[in-house]
Structure 1
Amino acid sequence: MNEEHKTDGGDMSRRIAQRRSELGLTRDEVAEHAGMDPGYVRYLEEHPARLSRESLYRLSQALRTSPDHLLGADTDTPPGAASTAVAEPQLRTLSADECRELIGPGGVGRVAFAEAAGAAPTVLPVNYGLSDDAVVFRTASHGIIARNASGPMSFQVDRLDDTMSEGWSVLVAGRARIVEDAAELAALREHHSLRPWAGGDREAWVRIEAEQITGRRVGGRTSG
């Protein structure tokens, strides 16, 4: 069955155009990667349209995002709320190198730590980068994360695609510390232009030295 996904016109068009602009791609380049006519890409950026599941997937791949993001279905709904489209999803363990490759570009992940022995973990989102084998991020100098950045801390990041029922998750376990060395701070500021979404004072840099990196990927059965 050839499922169709109707765009909402302006919102869908803006998401396509905005994502293309973020990547610095021309319409011709997007069209080439998606196997579409450049005129059709222009049409999608300017008019409502009905996309087949295959076309939506190819366009999202060309724009390095997910079908759900283009549809606007990932803004207010928890990941995984949609029904599973893959009849026999397969779960695969990722190697440490595969995990590093997935989280290497940086983005938004979650840190987890216990404020006291026996306390339930506190989990908070952070904008992060990867420095060698360590996760680095900025936080408030006197905030809850900084107060607990001198011991065990875990970091988790994932990417889910409800439409294609695919996704991956990576967990980094290690020890955290506040970066205080002037030379190390200068190097982090030079190589990581982290801009926390939360805004405000985020002058403290935290480094989680990885002791263990694990991950899993779920998706459809591979052929072969």
Structure 2
Amino acid sequence: MGFERNANASDVGRRVTQRRSELGMSRAELAERAGMDPGYVAYMEEQPARLSQEALYHLAHALHTSPDHLLGADTDTPPGSSSTAVPEPGIRTLTTEECLALIDPGGVGRVAFADTADTAPLVLPVNYVLSEDTVVFRTAADGVIARHVPGPMGFEVDRLDSAMSEGWSVLVAGHARRVDGGAELAALREHHSPRPWAGGEREAWVRVEPERVTGRRVGAV
């Protein structure tokens, strides 16, 4: 279920729609869980609407998130810095198949690599897609990432819900190479379009071929 931005909706309505989409929840299901009329949920997502503190709380509870997140008040706060609903969440190791399934939708991740042998690794965000179980992203042809390719590279994606102490993290360790042209690049352009989340020119296509894929999921036992 995709999330489409509605220009008429309020910021709260857009966050509710996005969170509902992430959970695979219909408007009717959200309305039932929040004790609201389905028509009101639809109106709230599509049009600017004033929400009472009580309505905001019920929405957040139904969406397994916090009122601050729906209000956008936590965008400058590191994940996990606030108190959570589960005091001692459990943790388990994910299989390679589970890891790949989690990152399959694409989105924003982080690449990590050592620019020189005597410096700490650089960690930079990229907008990626998963293609044939490999990570693909675009970057500036003359940028620091492109200058490091080919070479070893790590790639990490995580998803955290601070309010419910739930989340997961996937780490891909492998070798990065540039896709310079031919049928491979043509196929990527036809079937994938990793749009840079921060904008700007990104002419170089890079593929990270995994050598090891690991991950963990955190949640209530």
For 2:77, the equivalent position in structure 1 comes to 77
Q: Does the alignment pair 1:47 with 2:50?
A: yes
- SS of the residue 2:169 aligns to: strand
Deviations 1:2-31 (A, max 9, x none): xxxxxxxx54234335x39989x9xx9412
- Alignment RMSD, CA only? 2.7
2:29 to 27, 32, 39: 32
In 2, Cα distance between the equivalents of 1:123 and 1:34?
Answer: 41
How far did 1:197 drift? Answer: 1.8
* Structure 1: 5+ residue stretches without partners: 1-9
How far did 1:117 drift? Answer: 1.6
In 2, Cα distance between the equivalents of 1:100 and 1:163?
Answer: 25
Deviations 1:163-209 (A, max 9, x none): 11111000000000011132111111111111102222101000000
Checking the alignment, whether the CA contact within 8 Å between 1:13 and 1:47 is kept in structure 2 is no
Checking the alignment, whether the CA contact within 8 Å between 1:166 and 1:220 is kept in structure 2 is yes
For 2:103, the equivalent position in structure 1 comes to 103
Change (3 A) 1:179 1:14: closer
For 1:16, the equivalent position in structure 2 comes to 16
How far did 1:129 drift? Answer: 0.4
How far did 1:39 drift? Answer: 2.6
For 1:155, the equivalent position in structure 2 comes to 155
- SS of the residue 1:209 aligns to: strand
| Aligned residue type for 1:47 | R
Q: Does the alignment pair 1:86 with 2:86?
A: yes
In 1, Cα distance between the equivalents of 2:85 and 2:26?
Answer: 29
| Aligned residue type for 1:194 | P
For 2:119, the equivalent position in structure 1 comes to 119
Checking the alignment, whether the CA contact within 8 Å between 2:106 and 2:129 is kept in structure 1 is yes
- SS of the residue 1:158 aligns to: strand
Deviations 1:22-66 (A, max 9, x none): 89x9xx9412355253133146442213247664243x37xxxx5
- SS of the residue 1:171 aligns to: strand
2:60 to 56, 61, 74: 56
Checking the alignment, whether the CA contact within 8 Å between 1:138 and 1:202 is kept in structure 2 is yes
In 2, Cα distance between the equivalents of 1:148 and 1:218?
Answer: 33
The aligned length equals: 204
Change (3 A) 1:102 1:22: closer
In 2, Cα distance between the equivalents of 1:114 and 1:124?
Answer: 11
* Structure 2: 5+ residue stretches without partners: 1-9
Deviations 1:89-108 (A, max 9, x none): 10111111110110000000
Checking the alignment, whether the CA contact within 8 Å between 1:13 and 1:48 is kept in structure 2 is no
| Aligned residue type for 1:31 | A
**TM-score, normalisation: structure 2:** 0.82
